[in-house]
Structure 1
Amino acid sequence: MKLLFTLFLVSFSCLASSQTQQLKVVYNYINHAKPNTYQMELQAKNDQVFSYTIRLTKSGAGKNIRYKQTTDSTKLFKDYESGFMIYEERLGRDYHVVKEKLDLFKWQLNTKVDTLLGYPCKTAFAEFRGREYQAFYTTELPFTAAPWKLHGLPGVMLRIQTIDDVLIFDAQSIEILDKTKAIYNPFAHYDPIDYEDFCKHYKSYRKEVIKKRNQRAKQQNRPAPKNDKAPRVEVIIPENRFILND
């Protein structure tokens, strides 16, 4: 009887510990499609993950260059229990909250093994909306988490890069904190749209942008700019790389 009681206390203690532990990962976020420097912070607890982008601005010159954080941020919240993620998208001055299923990545596992920040990592590859991604993930942490829209691997993704090196997430620090509060969901009171609706908004937005650029070029007596490629990491589906002549 005493043995059963002891086992119960140990099991309860482990469960309580897992419910209070929270993961924090800070990534260097490099997006070669944009000139600014970014960081991304990730928080994970139980079945929820919240990540947000922090833009860094550069000041000074030479050895005196310094970076400071700005307040603008792109937020994304994942709930693995419900199987959905919710995130923000800005089109000009318009703000949209979008909801998608957490079934977008179909990973092919690789036998290559590496070590990042002292954690052994496995690798995997996946294609997603116009680009191929390579991920380095560890199963040595008691969490399932990844930055941005990335998901679908059994562990914590510590480095993700596109094969064309346009996008890189590279973990710089890992902390496991004792937190009693649940992960913050900034979209709890929003009514999100689905991805197909967002694509429609984006198509209208891009057509308007192209129209204004063409008008400006005509006024300045110069050739119209080329508009056949998307200025985004993702290729918006079903648009074929934004050839918007139809």
Structure 2
Amino acid sequence: MKKILFIFSICFFAFASSQTTRFVYQVSIKTDSTDAKSVKTELANLDISPKESIFYGDNRLKRDSIFSRARQTGSFNFDRTQMQNLQSNIDFTVQKNYSDQNLIYKSRIGRDEYSYTETPHFNWKILPETVKIGDYKTQKAEMNYGGRTWNAWFTTDVPVQDGPYKFSGLPGLIVKIEDTKGDYSFDLMQSKKINAPADFTTRGNIIKVSKANFLKQNEAYRKDPVSAMIAGNTRGNFMQRMTPEQRKQMETRLKKSVTDFNNPIEIK
């Protein structure tokens, strides 16, 4: 066992000494738990550098690039169809720090951006089953997290203990992971070298809270998104500046967004 860990450490050092690698996953999400046909598919990236990684939706990267160019040029005449096509169900980022095993989760609740720090402990059970996925020989593992049972396939061909979303801790990169209900799946599609990890510009303050507080506020928003938008000073002023017609449209859109996406990845 010590010999295996020693070899793994050498491989990891060699991998970590290289430039940043972007692993592209296809993510499938059943957004409505009551509708089997509500599966939405999009791409997400896991950028791995020597000290950390960041996981995020590919559409988030494209939108951020568009806004960055707009700020530089001063032209904010966006193509409405293009921006609608870049909407994402992956409205969060997960940044993992390899030195202390902490991760920072960032997401919006209404118009405000929140973040919390977590050090998840995954109770992985590595199973003897192996299968080849693409070019990788993978081995199966399973564990429970966030109210779901997850099956993962990892490969020691890529000697880094990481994977999509918050998942990590296996002796190799997670190539595929899905929950047993079939609501969420992450499948590695490709990898490529890049100069540096994605760096998202945050405009305004990030509200730092505990995970429990984030979940509590997110649940309150989902129960009554309109009241949640009005609750804060900034959000309230935004709603108060609207005409009655604009406010009605906003209320309809908010309620529909909550109804359409009622199946979060962590259900407890």
Give yes or no for the alignment of 1:90 onto 2:94: no
Q: Separation in 2 of the partners of 1:186 and 1:193?
A: 20
Match in the other structure for 1:224: none
1:202-245 CA-partner distances (Å, limit 9, x unpaired): 23323424989xxxxxxxxxxxxxx9x95312113xxxxxxxxx
C-alpha contact 1:124 1:136 (8 A) present in aligned 2 = yes
Alignment equivalent of 2:131, drawn from 114, 117, 121: 114
Match in the other structure for 2:179: 162
Secondary structure of 2:126 counterpart: strand
Give yes or no for the alignment of 1:145 onto 2:149: no
Match in the other structure for 1:48: 52
Secondary structure of 1:198 counterpart: helix
Q: CA deviation at 1:16?
A: 7.7
Match in the other structure for 1:136: 153
1:143-172 CA-partner distances (Å, limit 9, x unpaired): 222011111212100100111110010111
Taking the TM superposition and a 5 Å limit, the aligned residue runs for 1:18-37 are 18-33=16-31, 35=38, 36-37=40-41
Q: TM-score under structure 1 normalisation?
A: 0.67
Structure 1, gaps ≥5 residues long: 1-13, 57-67, 213-226, 237-246
Q: CA deviation at 1:140?
A: 1.1
C-alpha contact 1:30 1:168 (8 A) present in aligned 2 = yes
Q: Separation in 2 of the partners of 1:145 and 1:95?
A: 25
Q: RMSD value over aligned CA atoms? A: 3.4
Identity of aligned residues (%): 21
Match in the other structure for 2:255: none
C-alpha contact 1:30 1:37 (8 A) present in aligned 2 = yes
Q: CA deviation at 1:193?
A: 1.8
Q: Separation in 2 of the partners of 1:235 and 1:33?
A: 13
The letter of the residue matching 2:49 is K
Match in the other structure for 1:70: 86
The letter of the residue matching 1:234 is E
The letter of the residue matching 1:197 is N
In proportion to residue count, which structure has more strand?
1
Give yes or no for the alignment of 1:173 onto 2:190: yes
C-alpha contact 1:106 1:152 (8 A) present in aligned 2 = no
Q: Separation in 2 of the partners of 1:132 and 1:92?
A: 29
Q: Separation in 2 of the partners of 1:46 and 1:25?
A: 14
C-alpha contact 1:77 1:185 (8 A) present in aligned 2 = no
Match in the other structure for 1:61: none
Match in the other structure for 2:70: none
Q: Separation in 1 of the partners of 2:199 and 2:227?
A: 37
The letter of the residue matching 2:157 is E
Q: TM-score under structure 2 normalisation?
A: 0.62
Q: CA deviation at 1:110?
A: 0.5
Larger radius of gyration: 1
Q: Separation in 1 of the partners of 2:117 and 2:206?
A: 10
C-alpha contact 2:47 2:198 (8 A) present in aligned 1 = no
Match in the other structure for 1:217: none
Match in the other structure for 1:204: 220
Structure 2, gaps ≥5 residues long: 1-11, 33-37, 61-83, 229-258
C-alpha contact 1:29 1:39 (8 A) present in aligned 2 = yes
Moved more, 105-114 or 72-81: 72-81
- How many residue pairs get aligned? The number is 194
Q: CA deviation at 1:89?
A: 2.0
Secondary structure of 1:82 counterpart: coil
